[in-house]
């Protein structure tokens, strides 16, 4: 299964009931097609980076979806035909998560294998590096 992040921005005048209705419809669409919505985040009303149409603000919603891709096509279709959704984007994140886990696993043994101060030679008594027998 692949992991996706779907974020959509709805018009600022959209009622909360309409947003919850849309997110439940999207969650049902994903589950009926065999996917899983692992997390839903409502970010609330935020200022847009640039105007989209006549809007300067929007309500942001983020969905984390595990699926094959067929359910993503249907989710995107539903977002396109919904009037109050002004922008949406879908990003496949499973490859990035795999890469991050690989880097994290690579870092862990090197950090665990080193003892702090092991490489340092802190012999402060000898200024020239020679012992008393060699002088």
Q: 78-113: per-residue pLDDT in tens?
A: 999 999 999 999 999 888 777 887 888 888 765 555
How many CB atoms are located within 10 Å of the residue 71 CB? 22
pTM flag (> 0.85): no
- Give the domain ranges of the chain: 2-92, 97-134
Q: 31-82: per-residue pLDDT in tens?
A: 999 999 999 999 999 999 999 989 999 999 999 999 888 899 999 999 999 9
Q: H or E element: which one contains 74? A: helix 70-81
Architecture of 2-92 per CATH? 2-Layer Sandwich (3.30)
């Amino acid at each position: 299964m692949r992991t996706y992040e779907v974020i959509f921005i709805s018009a600022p005048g959209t009622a909360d009931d309409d947003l919850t209705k849309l997110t439940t419809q999207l969650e049902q669409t994903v589950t009926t097609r065999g996917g899983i919505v692992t997390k839903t985040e409502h970010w609330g009303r935020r200022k847009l980076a640039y105007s989209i149409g006549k809007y300067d603000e929007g309500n942001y919603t983020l969905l984390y979806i595990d699926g094959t891709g067929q359910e993503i096509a249907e989710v995107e279709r539903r977002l396109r035909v919904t009037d109050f959704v002004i922008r949406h984007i879908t990003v496949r994140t499973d490859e990035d998560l795999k890469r991050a886990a690989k880097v994290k696993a690579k870092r862990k043994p090197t950090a665990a294998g080193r003892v702090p101060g092991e490489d340092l030679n802190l012999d402060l008594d000898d200024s020239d590096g020679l012992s008393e027998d060699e002088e």
